[in-house]
A and B are shown apart, each in its own frame.
Chain A
């Protein structure tokens, strides 16, 4: 049964806007309500179609009024901030944790809410040398993330589990997304890899699993309109190493010793790329999730593999180190090599003729040396 009234939080961001636009184009859905604290950019607004935008803060009880008055039956919670970009860590935590608590309180009170979709993250699995290489939905972080986005996400999932106990009649889908990438989305990793020189942790090379933005929207759409309940990892097939991703995008990696990562993080923040040292440490070890549940139980096969998603992102990104440059250099080196080889064989034919008839006799040489 398709939902009648869908509420999407965080609609002013690219992914929220894309999902709202997708839902709005579905005639089976009566109303799509988008909520955010800031109005969407004009470009996003144009795409939103018949989506009704409500400027409300999910941290305030006013969200309950929105849910009640529109008798919302499906809530998609994606207003979770992954970086302390605006207002610092304190306001990020407040938005993430207090915002989720307010939203869930409103959902619990409302009799109309039948379904909740949470956009969570695979960061909840942590990233440490003691974690298994590939995480399934049943695994937990061996070393619980101590702060930042991962900690917030763990808290949020905890509140959602508590909500599930109190409202067992509500179907809940928790989607644990890997890093998102694509030509249009402004994700954390996308902006990180857009820097011409990408700082990495010296001596570490993370395994990176990506998800294309189109696949992310499709999974969110299917979770909103479908009836899957439970937790599912959402990631593309295959992985790349961080160093490999940087090379494929034609970027220059700058390995930084662990002690200096903090100051490099401050430097990139000044350059407008909000990349916290915490997330950089995540990229020391990387994180890969098992996607069997996504394919077999949820029933979605991502259209892009990790490598294809990266290649699609690379289309929009002028490389710093052009692959043609490398090809040219390799071709030049090969030509030089051919000439040297020709020279050497010519030399050998000249030298060899003179050389071969009189090989040095070891015994004779010993006499001469003496």
Chain B
């Protein structure tokens, strides 16, 4: 039997040049990359007291997330005008999707699509910071611990803070309970907004529920790994690492009208009635916009 031979399909044509982009563009890009590497090697970049590393975020983390935002989930944003251009504000959103991808996409949305390119400073559970790599990377992206001290410090220095009051109850809820909001913590986020007098921007995220539909929870595995839940999805852990690829659902991120808190005064933060009422108001606003977006959506994947 003769040996297999590679026969070129188009022997009369030369191989195309390695890149089709105009030369200065990729050259500049590579030069920029080199400059970035030089900065990283010599440590000549700034980080803030929360561990936020804007240089790394802009040059590595956001470029990594952008294709997911634009191509994979095809995120559509609504109501960006409700997020102030300057000054502190608290973005409160629903949490879902087994893995908190929604937080990352909200960060990209506000950075890339908001006219003022706002940076969303997320608040994360202490569990996030316990894990190696995850915790360090989260801090470099601008995340800090979800506690009143940190939230108030960020808000009073004029940062846009993102919080998911449902926490693990929201992100780890079974697929059958999709788009029903869980309990909104103890209202700590409202008291932080009251104390600093910043507006609360309710935010509804649709699409994240379908990326890893959580059918079951392997409690024993979760307990062994020290996790709040161990997801079983149609593809995970059945397909191994392949099951970690999120389903390409179509996403909507809608920012609602800001709820101002300054008129209550800082003392209202210690009035549980005001805090509970505001918490409920925010929760209902988000639930209603979720229903509205779900009606608008034609199907899960388009």
A→B interface (CB under 8 Å):
129-134, 136, 139, 201-205, 207, 209, 238-241, 243-248, 258, 285-286, 288, 321, 323, 326-327, 330, 333-334, 337-338, 341, 344-345, 347-348, 351-352, 354-355, 360, 365, 368-369
Contact = CB atoms under 8 A, between A and B. Distances in A.
A345 B23 contact: yes
Contacts of A360: 10, 13
Interface of B: 9-10, 13-14, 16-19, 23, 27, 30-31, 34-35, 37-38, 40-45, 47-51, 53, 126-133, 135-136, 139-140, 144-145, 147, 149-150, 153
Nearest to A352: B17
Nearest to B153: A134
Nearest to A337: B30
B151 to A, nearest CB: 9
Nearest to B16: A355
A6 B27 CA distance: 66
Contact of A133 (B23, B53, B144): B144
Contacts of B145: 129-133
Contacts of A130: 126, 129, 145
Contacts of A248: 42-44
B41 A337 contact: no
A349 B271 CA distance: 74
A286 B150 contact: no
B10 A204 contact: no
Contact of B49 (A239, A244, A330, A347): A239
The dominant DSSP class at the A interface is helix
A312 B41 CA distance: 19
Contacts of A286: 51
A207 B51 contact: yes
Nearest to A348: B17
A239 B17 contact: no
Nearest to B136: A205
B34 A334 contact: yes
A324 to B, nearest CB: 10
13 contacts: A129-B128, A129-B135, A132-B145, A132-B150, A133-B153, A139-B149, A239-B49, A240-B43, A245-B43, A327-B38, A330-B34, A337-B31, A344-B23
Nearest to A243: B43
B10 A244 contact: no
A337 B17 contact: no
B47 to A, nearest CB: 5
Contacts of B23: 341, 344-345, 348
A72 B229 CA distance: 62
Nearest to A329: B38
B135 A247 contact: no
Nearest to A324: B42
A258 B51 contact: no
B170 to A, nearest CB: 21
A66 B92 CA distance: 62
A60 B143 CA distance: 50
Given A133-B150, A207-B47, A207-B50, 10 more contacts: A129-B129, A134-B49, A134-B153, A136-B149, A203-B133, A240-B43, A241-B51, A247-B43, A327-B38, A351-B14
Nearest to A310: B43
A145 B57 CA distance: 33
B179 to A, nearest CB: 31
A136 B47 CA distance: 20
A308 to B, nearest CB: 13
Given A134-B153, A327-B38, A344-B23, A240 B130 contact: no
A341 B153 contact: no
Contacts of A202: 132
A351 B19 CA distance: 13
B17 A351 contact: yes
Contacts of A136: 149
A336 to B, nearest CB: 10
